[in-house]
Structure formats: structure tokens, C-alpha cells
Chain A
Amino acid sequence: GESVGLHLPTLSVQEGDNSIINCAYSNSASDYFIWYKQESGKGPQFIIDIRSNMDKRQGQRVTVLLNKTVKHLSLQIAATQPGDSAVYFCAENRGSGYALNFGKGTSLLVTP
């Protein structure tokens, strides 16, 4: 069935390096995508979102890229810090009236 999935379950990076977390989606009707960060024992927190009429969106130290041709979404974190260690989820929304559909998550570990 249609789903949102992640390429890598875990990612280890050194402090100061850039991180890239990837996500693939299969529902061509999806028009809104979100990245969430979840720290252990807490609820997910919104990081950044992007709509299907955009290819790129930048926030503070984060950039989301959307490639609709291959149905691929990525989150880039610049100068990764220890506080960035968490599980990152991508989520898609098929439109108003639908709930978000979440991927399985990627665990990001930042080493000193």
C-alpha cells in the first residue's frame, strides 16, 4: 500500500558536520510534507514543512528538499550539534481532512 518510508534507520555524524536524512513517499496525491524531531520520551516537535509547489525551503540550520519526480524528501541539518540527537520523522498529508501519515523514523546520533 501507499506509505512514507525512510532510507536509513540510523545515522551517526560528528559534531559540526552536516547531516542529511532522507525520506521516500509513494502517494502522488500528497501535497504537504513535514519533518518532526522527537527526543526520547517526548512528543514529536515540528521542524520544518514544505508544500508540493516548492522544491526547497530553509529554516534555521535546516533545509528541506522535495523532489516530486522521484517522490523523495530530505532534511539537511547544517553544523550538527549534540542537541540534534533525536529521532526524525517525515510525514505527509494528502489534503485537508486527512491526518498526517508518518514514516518509521531515523535515529540521528551526534558524536563529539
Chain B
Amino acid sequence: SQTIHQWPATLVQPVGSPLSLECTVEGTSNPNLYWYRQAAGRGLQLLFYSVGIGQISSEVPQNLSASRPQDRQFILSSKKLLLSDSGFYLCAWSVTGADTEAFFGQGTRLTVV
């Protein structure tokens, strides 16, 4: 069966520090991968999605970047965090080339102080 791992679960970082959140998927090949952000009491905002290694699409201009160094690994990064980067970050995957549901990780609660 397929599983998705996302870590860390919680993170407190000072303003101006770098960020690296990692997500890996097991049990499937060539998945579509996604990073979403959720503000408190709000819906999910798509940040990045990837349909293959090295292929990253950005949905909104921001202080963050994403990379896909391996087929089942998706990394969310920032060189210098801002207070506004605080939120709940969710990684997700879906089967490539088909309209199917996305499967989510358990999320990372990031607080920038």
C-alpha cells in the first residue's frame, strides 16, 4: 500500500532562518506531488506541484521554493523565513495522468517567531 511521510510535525523557527521540509512517498512510482499551505481556520492554498523529477510548478509568488530531487521526494525550502510564512504545511500525492483524489500527509505546523 502507498504511504506518505512528512516531517517534522512541528517546527519553530526564527525570522530570517532557512527552512527545509521533506516529504516522501512509498509504494507508488511517478506520483504527482503537491505542497499546500493552510492558514488557521482557512482552506488549503496550493503552493507547488510536480509531475516529475525536476519539474516544479509554482502557483503563487512567495518566499518559498520547492524541489524534487528524486521521484518520490518533495522538498519545501526557504532561504530566509518571514513571519507570514507561519502556517500548516501539507504534502500530498496523487496518481499521475488521472483524475483521482490526492492523499495527504499529516502536515507540519510551522511557527516563525
A93 within 8 A of B: yes
A72 within 8 A of B: no
CB contacts (< 8 Å) of B31 on chain A: these are none
B43 touches A43 (CB 8 A): no
Within 8 A of B (CB), among A27-45: 31-32, 34, 41-45
Instruction: Give the distance in Å from the alpha carbon of A21 to the alpha carbon of B93 in the complex.
Output: 26
CB contacts (< 8 Å) of B103 on chain A: these are 46
CB contacts (< 8 Å) of B59 on chain A: these are 99
Q: How many residues of A contact B (CB 8 A)?
A: 24
Among A42, A97, A99, A105, the residue within 8 A (CB) of B43 is A105
B104 touches A96 (CB 8 A): no
B107 touches A43 (CB 8 A): yes
B99 touches A32 (CB 8 A): yes
A16 within 8 A of B: no
Query: Assuming the A-B contacts A43-B90, A44-B104, A99-B34, are A93 and B43 also in contact, with contact meaning beta carbons closer than 8 angstroms in the complex?
Result: no
Say what secondary structure dominates the interface of chain B.
strand
CB contacts (< 8 Å) of B90 on chain A: these are 43-44
Q: Which residue of A lies closest to B42 (CB)?
A: A104
Instruction: Give the distance in Å from the alpha carbon of A34 to the alpha carbon of B104 in the complex.
Output: 13
- A interface vs B, CB < 8 Å? 31-32, 34, 41-46, 49, 51, 89, 91, 93, 95-97, 99-105
Sample of 18 further A-B pairs with CB below 8 A, known A41-B107, A42-B106, A102-B43: A32-B99, A34-B102, A41-B109, A42-B107, A43-B6, A44-B90, A45-B104, A46-B101, A89-B44, A91-B102, A96-B98, A99-B34, A99-B59, A99-B102, A101-B46, A102-B44, A103-B43, A105-B43
The 7 A-B residue pairs whose C-beta atoms are closest, nearest first, are A43-B104, A32-B99, A104-B43, A102-B44, A46-B101, A99-B49, A102-B43
